[in-house]
């Protein structure tokens, strides 16, 4: 078996590779954890079936708070060249300009970001390209046998395999769906270039509960303009089929207030559609192994909290728990449980699940309580829009009056 950097890290003939931590899955969680542990001098094995992370529609934007998490772990210098920064976001609500937000956000293609992180792995942490055929976990040592016969022996096993079921099932951990087909996300490139778009970035919220649209976000990645739509529908609905057949027509009808600025929503390339369910893990409290990121819980993309949750896991694991666990012999479940009971991790996961559920309710629920909440929120927003217009008019009249 050959690693990404061409080194044979583990071969059947050479006997087991002995490491402190073996990480299965080199996505956002696995790769960042491997980097931080490797940079701290830990012996780490990072295993993924693919040398290059394929292009897939996942997170495409993070905010300043996530960038700060990368910064805290010393990863910001690696991340910055891989992202497109922006800090002038036109926000539309109720079909009108509501605010201009001057906060930093950073856009990227997920595959390119993960590959950039993989390329920056320290030389002592090569990516092992291979499939895990056998996993044995216990209170002292964890043993992985890869399909080619290579053996990795570790004190701790970290499972960071995202949505994938194979490793979780092999270990005997169950995925419990809390809200099946909870939301849908769509991503596509616009035909206009960054220079042709009068807005640096736009967020436009859905107007009617019946539309079941949370918001559309239009932003630059490099020189192209990309759009993400977050909504509450499922793949089988006729609406979804109609959208896939005529996305430009439907977007112009749904968001006429920004259509002209967005090249009348002419789309170049395919419309990527992902359905997301909210899920938790059951049976994860066991000897020798810890589950992180989406392999632990899956929340909804709409509130944009996935990467923040992943990085909270990695921060708490790499700076607090793993150093403590490695200090003393053994890796029994009572050690591992300290991570699952860590108040910072628990708060991050629970808040992620709470906002995932709330974002859907406030967008789509039709019961009296939710209609009243929407009315209250929209009245406050309408007043702010009027106040903004009045201020704008006042400013325009002032020179003439003087």
Ligand X SMILES: Cc1cc2nc3c(=O)[nH]c(=O)nc-3n(C[C@H](O)[C@H](O)[C@H](O)COP(=O)(O)OP(=O)(O)OC[C@H]3O[C@@H](n4cnc5c(N)ncnc54)[C@H](O)[C@@H]3O)c2cc1C
CB 289 within 8 A of CB 141: no
- Crossing angle of the two packed helices 343-364 and 333-340, in degrees rounded to 10: 40
Min. distance of Cβ 236 from ligand X in angstroms?
18
Tell me which of 307, 322, 336, 385 binds ligand X, using CB under 6 A: 307
String of contacts with ligand X for each residue 241-280, x by CB under 6 A:
---------------------------------x-x----
Tell me which of 49, 111, 139, 222 binds ligand X, using CB under 6 A: 49
Please identify, among the stretches 41-49, 116-124, 150-158, 321-329, the one whose residues bind ligand X according to the rule CB under 6 A.
Answer: 41-49
Considering only residues 119 to 138 of the shown chain, the ones binding ligand X according to CB under 6 A are 132
| CA-wise closest residue to 158 among 48, 76, 255 | 48
Within 107-196, where are the H helices?
A: 110-119, 166-171
Min. distance of Cβ 260 from ligand X in angstroms?
26
58 binds ligand X (CB under 6 A): yes
CB-nearer residue toward ligand X: 212 or 388: 212
168 binds ligand X (CB under 6 A): no
Within 137-237, where are the H helices?
A: 166-171
| CA-wise closest residue to 338 among 281, 290, 282, 299 | 290
Q: Element (H or E) spanning 54, and its range?
A: none
Within 222-332, where are the H helices?
A: 238-245, 247-254, 256-259, 306-316, 322-327
Residues 6+ apart with CB under 8 A from 383: none
| CA-wise closest residue to 145 among 170, 126, 169 | 170
Residue nearest to ligand X according to CB distances in the complex: 27
Please identify, among the stretches 12-20, 21-29, 350-358, 391-399, the one whose residues bind ligand X according to the rule CB under 6 A.
Answer: 21-29
Please identify, among the stretches 9-17, 54-62, 85-93, 346-354, the one whose residues bind ligand X according to the rule CB under 6 A.
Answer: 54-62
CB-nearer residue toward ligand X: 166 or 390: 166
Please identify, among the stretches 88-96, 191-199, 258-266, 291-299, the one whose residues bind ligand X according to the rule CB under 6 A.
Answer: 291-299
CB 273 within 8 A of CB 186: yes
Tell me which of 38, 206, 288, 306 binds ligand X, using CB under 6 A: 306
Considering only residues 309 to 368 of the shown chain, the ones binding ligand X according to CB under 6 A are 310
Using alpha carbons, list the distances in angstroms from residue 253 to 250, 256, 260: 5, 6, 12
183 binds ligand X (CB under 6 A): no
Tell me which of 7, 15, 41, 50 binds ligand X, using CB under 6 A: 50
| CA-wise closest residue to 106 among 261, 230, 220, 191 | 220
Cα 26 to chain centroid distance, Å, stands at: 14
Min. distance of Cβ 398 from ligand X in angstroms?
41
Helix count and strand count (H, E) for the chain: 13, 17
Please identify, among the stretches 52-60, 193-201, 248-256, 368-376, the one whose residues bind ligand X according to the rule CB under 6 A.
Answer: 52-60
Cα 240 to chain centroid distance, Å, stands at: 23
User: Contact residues for ligand X (CB under 6 A)?
Assistant: 24-30, 47-50, 53, 57-62, 132, 160-162, 164, 166-167, 185, 274, 276, 293-295, 301, 304-308, 310
């Amino acid at each position: 078996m050959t690693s990404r950097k061409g080194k044979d890290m583990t071969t059947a003939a050479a006997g087991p590779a002995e490491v402190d931590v073996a990480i299965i899955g080199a996505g956002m969680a696995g790769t960042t954890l491997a980097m931080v542990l490797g940079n701290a001098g830990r012996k780490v094995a990072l295993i993924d079936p693919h040398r290059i992370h394929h292009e897939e529609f996942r997170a495409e934007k993070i905010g300043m708070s996530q960038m700060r998490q990368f910064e805290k772990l010393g990863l910001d210098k690696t991340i910055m060249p891989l992202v497109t920064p922006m800090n002038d976001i036109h926000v539309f609500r109720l079909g009108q300009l509501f605010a201009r937000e001057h906060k930093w956000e950073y856009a990227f293609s997920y595959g390119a970001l993960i590959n950039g992180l993989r390329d920056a792995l320290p030389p002592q942490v090569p990516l092992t390209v291979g499939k895990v055929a056998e996993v044995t976990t216990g209170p002292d040592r964890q043993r992985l046998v890869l399909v080619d016969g290579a053996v990795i022996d570790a004190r701790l096993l970290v499972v960071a395999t995202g949505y994938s079921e194979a490793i979780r099932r092999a270990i005997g951990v169950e995925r419990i769906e809390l809200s099946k087909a909870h939301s849908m996300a769509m991503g596509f490139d616009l035909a206009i270039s960054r220079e042709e778009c009068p807005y640096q970035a736009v967020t436009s919220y859905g107007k009617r509960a019946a539309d079941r649209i949370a918001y559309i976000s239009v932003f630059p990645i490099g020189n192209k303009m990309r759009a993400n739509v977050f909504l509450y529908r499922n793949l089988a609905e006729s609406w979804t089929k109609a959208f896939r057949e005529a996305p430009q027509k439907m977007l112009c009808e749904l968001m006429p207030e920004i259509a002209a600025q967005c090249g009348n929503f002419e789309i170049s390339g395919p419309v990527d559609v992902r359905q997301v369910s909210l899920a938790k893990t059951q049976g994860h409290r066991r000897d020798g192994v810890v589950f992180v990121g989406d392999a632990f819980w899956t929340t909804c993309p709409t509130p944009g909290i996935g990467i923040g949750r992943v990085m909270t896991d990695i921060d708490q694991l790499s700076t607090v728990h793993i150093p403590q666990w490695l200090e003393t012999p053994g890796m029994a479940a009572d050690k591992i449980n300290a991570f699952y009971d860590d108040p910072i991790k628990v708060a991050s996961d629970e808040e992620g699940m709470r906002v995932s559920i709330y974002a859907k309710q406030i967008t789509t629920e039709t019961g009296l309580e939710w209609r009243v909440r929407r009315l209250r929120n929209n009245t406050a927003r309408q007043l702010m829009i009027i106040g903004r217009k009045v201020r704008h008019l006042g400013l325009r009249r002032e020179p003439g009056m003087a």
